[in-house]
């Protein structure tokens, strides 16, 4: 499967509006042009209209179809989050200039959590070159950006949220593995017990979900397309190792659990990454 093409095709049919609060970044301006020309979404840019248009002109970029709004004293990120919370935009993408902690805070305090959700978590879309693994080389890794040391209940919620996100974005059946270093020698260690208890909670809440339970990585790779890591250290290191050593493409972090979609960018994000995260945000908003 070609997930990015599928997401683009879905986004083009939805006619949603995405707000980009970091209009002083040249990458955002160019990404806005691509999004508009590709008809992935309508765009709101936050900033001084004269300055934004001048920057676009200097870059040779056409953003004439974008709406440009000046922010209040709350700052561009919080102002953008309020637009999403009030239904004036369908989703928000930020992080090219903002710290992840600020994007998370704006999401939780202003956009808030969706009904029935207890916390904001995240996943990375990992596109690997080995088509025999995952879903034709596709994996979702979670949580790699938000929850530092989830307890068993939180770990189960991360797994269930990621399974739902996988269905929405891929249209395929999620197959989860909750990763552990479990072996007979450490069977009673609290870390291994946490993962086992989380797997039992997932199974209790969604018995129809294809779940490998608590497994070691080498066993999980035989069948899973979603890898749930036991904590943020493992998840963040895991996705970066996969990206750098296996030459995988990492897209994210993609947030889940919010009332309306808000997504983060890495400070070193590429223009393509901004465009793709915006398209994912559109599909999440349906």
- pTM of the entire structure? 0.91
Per-residue pLDDT at 182: 67
pLDDT at 185 over 60: no
pLDDT over 90, % of the chain = 80
Q: Rounded CA gap, 230 and 148, in Å?
A: 9
Per-residue pLDDT at 104: 96
pLDDT at 151 over 60: yes
Per-residue pLDDT at 187: 58
Q: Convert the pLDDT of each residue in 196-211 to its tens digit.
A: 889 889 988 888 887 7
Average per-residue pLDDT for the chain = 92
The strand pair at 121-127 and 249-256 is best described as antiparallel
Number of C-beta neighbours around residue 110 at 10 A: 21
Helices (H), the chain: 3-12, 26-37, 49-59, 76-85, 100-106, 152-170, 190-205, 217-220, 232-245, 271-284
257 phi/psi in degrees, rounded to 5: 110, -10
The residue ranges of every structural domain in the chain are 3-112+258-285, 121-250
Domain 121-250, CATH: 3.40.50.10750
Q: Which CATH class is domain 3-112+258-285?
A: alpha beta
Handedness of CA 9, 263, 158, 257 (dihedral sign): negative
Q: Convert the pLDDT of each residue in 265-280 to its tens digit.
A: 988 899 999 999 999 9
pLDDT at 66 over 90: yes
Q: Which residues, at least 6 apart from 160, have a Cβ–Cβ distance to it below 8 Å?
A: 202, 205, 206, 209
Cβ–Cβ under 8 Å, residues 79 and 71:
yes
Per-residue pLDDT at 272: 94
54 phi/psi in degrees, rounded to 5: -65, -40
Q: Rounded CA gap, 156 and 149, in Å?
A: 13
Number of C-beta neighbours around residue 113 at 10 A: 14
Note whether 3-112+258-285 and 121-250 share their fold. Answer: yes
**Tokens matching residue 85:** 């919370």
Q: Rounded CA gap, 188 and 200, in Å?
A: 16
pLDDT at 40 over 90: yes
DSSP 3-state assignment of 129? Answer: coil
Cβ–Cβ under 8 Å, residues 42 and 17:
yes
Per-residue pLDDT at 255: 97
Q: Convert the pLDDT of each residue in 83-137 to its tens digit.
A: 999 999 999 999 999 999 999 999 999 999 999 999 999 999 999 999 999 999 9
Task: Give, for 123, the enclosing helix (H) or strand (E).
Answer: strand 121-127
């Amino acid at each position: 499967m070609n997930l990015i093409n599928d997401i683009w095709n879905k986004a083009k049919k939805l006619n949603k509006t995405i707000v980009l609060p970091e209009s002083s970044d040249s990458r955002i301006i160019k990404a806005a042009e691509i999004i508009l020309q590709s008809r992935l979404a309508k765009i709101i840019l936050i900033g001084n209209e004269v300055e934004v248009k001048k920057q676009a002109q200097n870059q040779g970029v056409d953003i004439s179809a974008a709406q440009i709004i000046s922010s209040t004293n709350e700052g561009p990120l919080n102002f953008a989050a309020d637009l999403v919370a009030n239904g004036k935009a369908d989703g928000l993408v930020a992080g090219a200039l903002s710290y992840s902690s600020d994007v998370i805070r704006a999401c939780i305090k202003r956009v808030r959590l969706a009904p029935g959700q207890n916390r904001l978590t995240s996943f990375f879309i990992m596109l690997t070159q080995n088509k025999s693994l995952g879903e034709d080389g596709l994996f979702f890794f979670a949580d790699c950006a938000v929850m530092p040391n989830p307890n068993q209940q939180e770990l189960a919620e991360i797994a269930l949220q990621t399974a739902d996100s996988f269905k929405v974005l891929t249209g395929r059946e999620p197959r989860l593995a909750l990763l552990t270093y479990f072996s007979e020698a450490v069977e009673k260690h609290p870390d291994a017990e946490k993962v086992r208890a989380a797997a039992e909670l997932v199974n209790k809440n969604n018995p129809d979900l294809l779940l490998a339970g608590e497994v070691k990585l080498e066993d999980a790779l035989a069948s899973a397309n979603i890898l749930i890591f036991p904590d943020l250290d493992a998840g963040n290191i895991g996705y970066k190792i996969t990206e750098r050593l296996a030459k995988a493409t990492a897209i994210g972090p993609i947030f889940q659990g919010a009332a309306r979609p808000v997504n983060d960018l890495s400070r070193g994000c590429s223009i393509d990454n901004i465009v793709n995260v915006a398209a994912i945000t559109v599909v999440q908003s349906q």
